[in-house]
């Protein structure tokens, strides 16, 4: 009698477990579909802007060529080139987020890493750049290409936060606990408390352009290289991003 009851209870438990697993699978599928829908909406919206500009430029370019307007042709080609870069960056960010490669870690000199990152960013005249590496000579152990992308993103964001009004961008460093801390501070518009909580979430952005993957990619790259990234800010008082990367262990 007890054996029969035990089997009944076991069958009920197995059935409940199967139902729970099926429900969980449906929820996961629904979340994935929602994320894909949100991503498709963001990418579609952002890509439509440069594509519309390219279409208009193509129309104006045809008119300029017909009228043999060399100045107009040159200007249209310049705008076309810029908008192609915008569209390419959207696609690149999307691909980078979905297929980040394992880091190829090597010995990296911090000064060279920062110098390389700065070559990818145009620093406006009204932005005062200050760099103080505090004499760090011990190499980092990281992927230089990936960290260049992280640093470039943080520097670009700091410049954009100044809204063309100018200000100070300071890059400083410190060491401790086997890590080098690279600190990027700006005197830009700052970040509100509500935004601060979501700053590293994929698809979250406060910018009029972009799909909100830059900082999400930066966070993943830093963590893949055994590091951490932190942010501190107040609205209208600038922001400070700190990247902590492991120093090469002395033999």
Q: Is the dihedral of CA 215, 221, 224, 228 positive or negative?
A: negative
- Burial of residue 172, with CB atoms counted within 10 A of its CB: 0-12 exposed, 13-18 middle, 19 or more buried: middle
Could you tell me what percent of the chain has a pLDDT over 70? 84
pLDDT digits (tens, 9 = 90+) for 59-90: 888 888 888 878 888 888 888 888 887 777 77
Residue 207: how many other CB atoms lie within 10 Å = 11
Considering the chain, tell me which residue range(s) the CATH 1.10.287.130 domain(s) occupy: 2-98
**Looking at the domain covering 2-98, what would its CATH class be?**
mainly alpha
Q: How far is CA 205 from CA 49, 112, 157, 183, in A?
A: 17, 30, 12, 22
- Burial of residue 187, with CB atoms counted within 10 A of its CB: 0-12 exposed, 13-18 middle, 19 or more buried: buried
For the ranges 80-89, 93-102, 144-153, which has the lowest average pLDDT? 93-102
Fold of 106-246: Heat Shock Protein 90 (3.30.565)
Residue 217: how many other CB atoms lie within 10 Å = 21
Considering the chain, tell me which residue range(s) the CATH 3.30.565.10 domain(s) occupy: 106-246
Confidence at 58, pLDDT banded by 50, 70, 90: confident
pLDDT at residue 147, rounded to an integer = 94
What would the DSSP string read from start to end of 7-59?
HHHHHHHHHHHHHHHHHHHHHHHHHHHHHHHHHHHHHHHHHHHHHHHHHHHHH
pLDDT digits (tens, 9 = 90+) for 222-247: 999 999 999 999 888 899 999 999 88
pLDDT digits (tens, 9 = 90+) for 179-207: 889 999 999 988 888 888 888 887 777 77
pLDDT digits (tens, 9 = 90+) for 39-52: 666 666 667 777 77
């Amino acid at each position: 009698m007890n054996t029969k009851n035990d089997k009944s209870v076991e069958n009920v438990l197995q059935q409940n477990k199967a139902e729970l697993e099926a429900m969980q699978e449906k929820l996961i599928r629904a979340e994935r579909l929602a994320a894909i829908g949100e991503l498709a909406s963001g990418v579609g919206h952002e890509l439509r802007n440069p594509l519309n500009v390219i279409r208009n430029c193509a129309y104006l370019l045809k008119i300029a060529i017909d009228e043999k307007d060399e100045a107009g042709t040159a200007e249209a080609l310049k705008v076309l080139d810029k908008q192609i870069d915008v569209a390419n960056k959207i696609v690149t960010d999307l691909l980078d987020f979905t297929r980040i490669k394992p880091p190829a870690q090597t010995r990296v000199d911090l000064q060279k890493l920062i110098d390389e990152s700065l070559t990818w960013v145009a620093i406006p005249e009204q932005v005062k750049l200050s760099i103080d590496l505090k004499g760090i000579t011990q190499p980092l152990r990281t992927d230089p290409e990936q960290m260049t992308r992280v640093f470039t993103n943080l520097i670009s964001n700091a410049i954009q936060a100044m809204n063309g009004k100018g200000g100070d961008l300071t890059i400083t460093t410190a060491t401790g606990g086997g890590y080098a801390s690279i600190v990027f501070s700006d005197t830009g518009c700052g970040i509100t408390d509500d935004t601060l909580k979501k700053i590293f979430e994929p698809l979250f952005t406060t910018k009029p352009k972009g799909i909100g993957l830059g900082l999400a990619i930066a966070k993943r790259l830093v963590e893949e290289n055994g590091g951490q990234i932190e942010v501190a800010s107040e609205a209208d008082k600038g922001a400070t991003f700190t990247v902590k990367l492991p120093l090469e262990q002395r033999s």
